[in-house]
Amino acid sequence: MTAINSPKDKYKAVWIIFFILGLGSLLPWNFFMTATMYFTSRLKDPPAEPSSNQTSNQTADGTRNVFESTFNNVMTLCAMVPLLVFTCLNSFIHQRIPQKLRISGSLTVILVVFLLTALLVKVYVAPLPFFMLTMIKIVFINSFGAILQGSLFGLAGILPASYTTPIMSGQGLAGTFAAFSMICALATGSDLRDSAFGYFITACFVVLIAIISYLTLPRMEFFQHYMDSSRSRLYGDEKKMDFVKKERPNEKQPKVILVEDNGKPSVTVLKICNKIWVVALLECFIFTVTVGMFPAVTVEVKSTVANGGRWDTYFIPVSCFLLFNVMDWAGRSLTAFCIWPSEDSKWLPVLVALRVVFVPLFMLCNVQPRHYLPVVFAHDAWYMVFMMIFSFSNGYLASLCMCFGPKNVSQPEAETAGAIMAFFMSLGLALGAAISFLFRAII
């Protein structure tokens, strides 16, 4: 079957489903990340009963216990290390575990964890057990989220290149949706725990929609066409190689099949890495810089304009989380209309490398508490401008690299290439989480 007689994606149904799946793959982590006010309020010693207008993580004497002060860094590390490990595992096991089990199973586990999180909102737990439970849940969510994310990018690699964009765009919307939901919860004026309960139930509802959407995907003629085409190419190449071996047994043949007669894979992960290593490393570097700053450092910036007013309540939810995710989403979505620079252009690595400048820029904003560096960019406007460029460049450049990766290999290799790109993205996230401790310590 050729592209000429391939079916159309009616009503963009497959595109929309991949968008929803992208939303569901990153929504859980974003909901946990933007709910830091709720989590740190539960870690106070002695425990507090916070209301929606309590935004400080400080106790009555102005100090923070070890759980509060290290929560953001430990949360990021507990998220990114499992994400890296399980994305790596997915790169090797995705051909051995059915796709349906990997995707639907991961979404189901994430749904169960969120239901448990919502229930725990109503139950008193001491700070230490609550801290441990929260970190365990973050590990579970990101472990299964890694399998889900890697499987989705691998699946998108089988489809036309434009179908990586809805996943990236959906992931961008996940952060925007989470930040907007938290702002709405704060705006209700209700108790923070009551708001958090509705917040986590909303996440459960979105994950449930993602499960239903995935189960309808095999019924789409457009999707089934490319799946059948991928299988036919695989089996066709196997038969062709067997025939050539019989005709010319002594001649060295190129390895173009996925499975040889002895059962060993001929298209190895290393061979595919050799084809996509440049864009894979760029993807890794993009997220190392991003997670090194966001949220471990950026969430600690304090407003110099609010002076204890209402803006103080909304400063971080709006200027940090909402602004980052809106601009990140815009950058990811732009790749649906604009592909510049090309993968062979020298501008791509240059633009990626230039993002390092955001490290000193954010560190010189009004991050509190601080001990070593001066505050150079004190006004809120500086912080917001930096955040806009920082997040937009993250979304746009990361989406470009993810689109380029699977298209540098042959069709049978596309799913593995997509999984490898997801691994390098997770590697960048994990490296960023680790280096965020250093960035925060030297401020």
Section 212-237 average pLDDT: 80
pLDDT band at 235 (very low <50, low <70, confident <90, very high): low
Question: Would the pLDDT of 159 be above 90?
Answer: no
> CA 110, CA 142: separation in Å to the nearest integer?
9
Query: Mean pLDDT in the chain?
Result: 82
Least confident of 209-218, 270-279, 359-368: 270-279
Q: Which two tokens stand for residue 360?
A: 């000193």
Cis peptide before 369 (omega within 30 of 0): yes
> CA 269, CA 106: separation in Å to the nearest integer?
23
Q: Which fold has domain 11-57+64-441?
A: Growth Hormone; Chain: A; (1.20.1250)
- Is the model more confident about 11 or about 185? 11
- Is the model more confident about 177 or about 252? 177
Least confident of 4-8, 77-81, 158-162, 232-236: 232-236
Note the pLDDT tens digit of each residue in 365-386.
Answer: 999 989 999 999 999 999 999 9
pLDDT band at 115 (very low <50, low <70, confident <90, very high): very high
> CA 310, CA 312: separation in Å to the nearest integer?
5
| pTM over the 0.85 mark | no
Section 148-175 average pLDDT: 84
Find where tokens 């999180």 sit.
117
Residue 220 burial by Cβ neighbours in a 10 Å radius (0-12, 13-18, 19+): middle
> Residue 267 has what pLDDT?
52
Domain boundaries, the chain: 11-57+64-441
Section 87-112 average pLDDT: 86
Question: Would the pLDDT of 321 be above 70?
Answer: yes
Question: Between vectors from CA 204 to CA 162 and to CA 97, what angle results, nearest 5°?
Answer: 55
Section 407-417 average pLDDT: 77
Question: Would the pLDDT of 78 be above 70?
Answer: yes
pLDDT band at 57 (very low <50, low <70, confident <90, very high): very low
List, in order, residues 6 or more apart from 185 with CB less than 8 Å away. Answer: 52, 195, 196, 198, 199
**Taking Cα atoms as reference points, which of 162, 19, 145 lies closest to residue 426?**
145
Section 338-355 average pLDDT: 91
66-93 and 127-158 helices cross at what angle (nearest 10)? 30
Question: Would the pLDDT of 398 be above 70?
Answer: yes
List, in order, residues 6 or more apart from 38 with CB less than 8 Å away. Answer: 121, 192, 193, 195, 196, 199
**Range from 5-19, 52-66, 165-179, 208-222 that averages highest in pLDDT:** 208-222
Section 103-112 average pLDDT: 94
Cis peptide before 160 (omega within 30 of 0): no
> Residue 413 has what pLDDT?
80
> CA 64, CA 130: separation in Å to the nearest integer?
16
- Is the model more confident about 118 or about 161? 118
pLDDT band at 160 (very low <50, low <70, confident <90, very high): confident
Note the pLDDT tens digit of each residue in 256-306.
Answer: 333 444 444 445 778 888 889 999 999 999 999 999 999 889 989 999 997
Question: Would the pLDDT of 154 be above 50?
Answer: yes
> CA 39, CA 41: separation in Å to the nearest integer?
5
> Residue 61 has what pLDDT?
47
